[in-house]
Amino acid sequence: MTTTSSPTPQPSSAHRAPVPTFAVISGAQVQHALQGREKQIVELVEATYRLHGSGDSVNPPSFFLRFPDRPADRIIALPASIGGPVQVDGLKWISSFPANVGAGLPRASAVLILNDHDTGYPFACLESSIVSATRTAASAALAAEWLSRGRTRPTRVGFFGTGLIARYIHTFLAGTGWTFDRIGVHDVSADSAAGFCSYLEQSGSTGRVTVYDGPEALIRSSDLVVFATVAGKPHVTDPDWFTHNPLVLHVSLRDLSPQILLRSANFVDDVEHCLKADTSPHLAEQLTGNRDFLNGTLDDVMSGRVSPPADRPVVFSPFGLGVLDLAVGKFVYDEVALAGHLHLIDHFFHELRRYG
């Protein structure tokens, strides 16, 4: 005996979701979308920190891919999801290969994948070394603004490490109204220091530029110190270098000894993220067995829950949150789409009918 059944209903064309699209956004497009918009991007980063602080985000721990035969190299995955007006999920995949510099290539390279909030489909892949540098610099400029309140505004800045991140941080400081009477420069590479000085000259900076042979003189002569190195472990160890109570943007995370942090007021972007992977704050936690040396997060300062002191060095150690990459990346996507310049990959998604 043969039995029959009704055909499985298929969604009508009127109710079928639109075919997902997938765009590739080049580094040139990313740079064009972001260039000259420092104030706007800092405001976006501030809003994102506030969303993260309110719990309207998911920011799991970053995953480090390391190589036993190449201990200096790593590739990091930063998955994240952000709500609010951004409403996007995604992943930054960023590599750090320091030996690239000697071969004439940037140390870091990255891509950012954006996923649709409702369907989960990836809808864009962006070149992301520029996105990453931008959100890092915007975060640093935002921290400099908030953490300098209640103290004399710094007029002497020192850059310890003079690569791409240092250049972006200076650009964002200048683009958000900071001016400096003196700019100190120190790098273990004389060529890098010279290149950074050339950038400063081309940028129109009016501050007197001084290249320092060693770190102590740079730090002692600076009210605002920017660490942007590739150091894997602390190499600045003397707390007495900081007795003039500077504001320190510890962007590279592993430059300062725990002893320096223990004599400073310490702020991070996210406590759980920052206290891992042998960062300087992580080493301080291991040394003391507690987190009492932390004063709070940048969001705590922005929300008025904590005020940075004026009688101690103030150190900001940002681990770097994937939600910031998503916010900046989605801004870039929207700008490129609005200009009508999205490069869509035709038929990127194929098996879209469940039963063929």
pLDDT at res. 2: 40
Q: How many residues does the chain have?
A: 356
Would you state the structure tokens that stand for residue 75, as one six-digit string?
A: 């590739």
- The residue type of 53 is G
Q: Which residues pair with 57 in a beta bridge?
A: 82
What's the first-to-final CA gap in the chain, in angstroms?
A: 29
Q: Model confidence at 101, in pLDDT bands (50, 70, 90)?
A: confident
Residue 263 has pLDDT above 50, yes or no: yes
Distance CA 132, CA 235 (A): 25
Residue indicated by tokens 């320096």: 260
pLDDT digits (tens, 9 = 90+) for 7-53: 445 555 556 678 899 999 999 999 999 999 999 999 999 999 999 99
pLDDT at res. 14: 53
Distance CA 42, CA 37 (A): 9
The pTM assigned to this predicted structure is 0.92
Closest to 314 (Cα-Cα) out of 301, 328, 333: 301
The alpha carbon torsion through 75, 81, 84, 87 (nearest 10 deg) reads 100
- H or E element at residue 236: none
Q: What are phi and psi of 292, to 5 degrees?
A: -65, -20
Distance CA 255, CA 234 (A): 4
Residue indicated by tokens 């406590």: 271
pLDDT at res. 356: 74
Q: How many CA atoms lie within 13 A of 179 on its CB side?
A: 4
pLDDT digits (tens, 9 = 90+) for 216-258: 999 999 999 999 998 989 999 999 999 999 999 999 999 999 9
State percent of the chain over pLDDT 90. 89
Would you state the structure tokens that stand for residue 110, as one six-digit string?
A: 């990255």
Distance CA 181, CA 103 (A): 35
Name the 3-class secondary structure at 163: coil
Distance CA 108, CA 101 (A): 9
Domains defined along the chain, listed by start: 23-131+323-344 (3.30.1780.10), 136-320 (3.40.50.720)
